[in-house]
Amino acid sequence: MTVTRKDVENADFRDEQPAYPLVNLFAYDWENKGDVLVVEFNRPENGGGIKSKSLRNGNHLVFAHHGDDDYGAFFAKEGTKQVPVRFQSFEKEKKPYTFRWNLQNGDFRSLYLIDNMTGIQYDMLRNDSYSFEASKQDYLSRFLIVFDVTDVEEHTEDINFAFFDGSSWVVNGKGRLEVVDVLGRILHAETLHGDQNRVSLDNYAKGIYLLRLWEGDTPKIQKIIMH
């Protein structure tokens, strides 16, 4: 089945279901061939559709991950605050891709796309596209959609909440701290209880990592360099 960009953007994937808020997330490759993920929010029950391989006509897949399953149409139950988004490229070398999206059926107080590889937290309400590079060697669980979060303005700027004092990393803030590598893998996680905490990261190789601090429903993210 061949799907043109016009076909995908004009499609209605709700199939006469109640009009819950939703995001249509379109993924295009460098030849403008696409795949699509539909995420519907605040449904009374969780469900989903099969992975939408039949909609793909590019060298990639985009789908939501929940439990042990992957979905091309994912129904996020009421109370859900984030949805993992997997992206799979079939190319050996890095290739350019673009996400585009539109919203339907409701008002979002906030909606963010988090790129775990770069640490970018992208405001999906202020923008309608995001470009990136990917290859088949990349970690599948690269993206995260975080939505309906209060105190939006607090998270629209980069926040440096950690620093190295010569012997250890000092993290300002409470909550769940995650150390993430450039492939999006969580290498370490712990809960911080004090307003300022010392964290030992001596066992990590030299390179770039992300610190992700969850104080509520959306994280602070800071890129750090291990020397």
Q: What is the pLDDT of residues 63-75, one digit of tens each?
A: 888 777 888 888 8
Residue 77, both tokens: 């139950």
pLDDT higher than 70, residue 94:
yes
**Alpha carbons within 13 A on the beta-carbon side of 185:** 6
pLDDT of residue 75: 84
Distance CA 25, CA 35 (A): 9
Contacts for 29 with CB less than 8 Å, ≥ 6 apart: 58, 59, 60, 95, 96, 97
Q: What is the pLDDT of residues 102-123, one digit of tens each?
A: 888 766 778 889 998 887 888 8
Any idea which of 111-120, 123-132, 209-218 has the lowest mean pLDDT?
Answer: 209-218
Rg of the chain taking only CA atoms, in angstroms? 18
Residues above pLDDT 70, as percent of the chain: 77
Q: What residue segments make up the domains of the chain, in order of their start?
A: 5-152, 162-226
pLDDT of residue 224: 85
Q: What is the pTM of this model?
A: 0.59
Distance CA 75, CA 64 (A): 10
Cβ neighbour number for residue 217 with a 10 Å cutoff:
15
DSSP-assigned beta bridge partners for residue 89: 60
Distance CA 54, CA 86 (A): 17
pLDDT of residue 108: 74
DSSP code of 59? S
3-state secondary structure of 196: strand
pLDDT of residue 56: 64
Which CATH architecture fits 162-226?
Sandwich (2.60)
Distances from the Cα of 74 to the Cα of 12, 109, 155, 159, 180, angstroms: 14, 20, 26, 31, 25
pLDDT higher than 60, residue 190:
yes
